Structure 1
Amino acid sequence: MAKTDYYQLLGVGKDADDASIKRAFRKMAMKYHPDQNPDNAEAEKKFKEINEAYEVLKDPQKRSAYDQYGHAAFEQGGPGGGGF
């Protein structure tokens, strides 16, 4: 199953600044938060995806890797993964 694009998930463009990403994250997190959607497995899944997207896009190094390699940047054995 293909993962959703992190920018699309948060509803921002690839040129979005940090403040726009944070604002979009907060809006989406509130919408899908488990406390707002009790017993809704789909909302919980979406909430986790939103958090994952924000964790990547808020960090300049992770965001750069994501922009260059997409989700592969964070999969086992992907560019920048493993190694000593």
Structure 2
Amino acid sequence: MSLDIDYYELLEVERTCDDKALKTSYRRLAMQYHPDRNPGDHDAEARFKAISEAYDCLKDPQKRAAYDRFGKAAFQGGGGGGGQGFEGFSDIFENIFGEFMGGGRGGGGRNSVRRGADLRYDLEISFEEAYAGKQASV
């Protein structure tokens, strides 16, 4: 069962809904399609997974903003034609907003600085060395 539909439609909420309405709808649908309530029903299981994926995205304000702007493409790796795939916008937003907003993880008074976050080493190599896959010890 392919559930390639809009997250808001999947959760049966409006795009302008608040967190409470989002959570209420998610809980209702999760109970309805939970695999324990529908043993052996693979469609219900697929729908439950899709509902959980949608809620995981929309409950986070940063991911929701990215989804509102770019849709599912914000979280899917790109890549076509054998090139290197793009890891998605979610990692970029987590890194950018994480730095500017104090990490976003961890609690109030705790130090949220990651070990080694302040280390940096610039290594200069030529284009040819990069193309050839030069390895260097740091």
Q: State the distance in 1 between where 2:36 and 2:3 align.
A: 27
Q: Compared with structure 1, are the counterparts of its residues 65 and 44 closer, same or farther at alpha carbon in structure 2 (3 Å cutoff)?
A: same
Q: What is the match of residue 26 of structure 1? A: 27
TM-score under structure 1 normalisation? 0.91
Q: Compared with structure 1, are the counterparts of its residues 17 and 72 closer, same or farther at alpha carbon in structure 2 (3 Å cutoff)?
A: same
Between the aligned residues of both structures, percent identity stands at: 48
Q: State the distance in 2 between where 1:2 and 1:45 align.
A: 8
The answer (yes or no) to whether the contact 1:75–1:81 under 8 Å persists in 2 is no
Question: What amino acid is the match of 1:57?
Answer: L
Q: State the distance in 2 between where 1:74 and 1:41 align.
A: 25
Q: Compared with structure 1, are the counterparts of its residues 19 and 42 closer, same or farther at alpha carbon in structure 2 (3 Å cutoff)?
A: same
Q: Which runs of 5+ in 1 are unaligned?
A: none
Q: State which structure, 1 or 2, has the greater radius of gyration over its C-alpha atoms.
A: 2
Q: What is the match of residue 8 of structure 1? A: 9
Q: State the distance in 2 between where 1:58 and 1:16 align.
A: 11
Q: State the distance in 2 between where 1:28 and 1:81 align.
A: 25
TM-score under structure 2 normalisation? 0.56
- 1:80: Cα distance to partner? 1.9
Which structure has more helix as a fraction of its residues?
1
Q: What is the match of residue 68 of structure 2? A: 67
Question: What amino acid is the match of 1:47?
Answer: F
User: Root-mean-square deviation (CA), in Å?
Assistant: 2.0
How many residues were matched structurally?
84
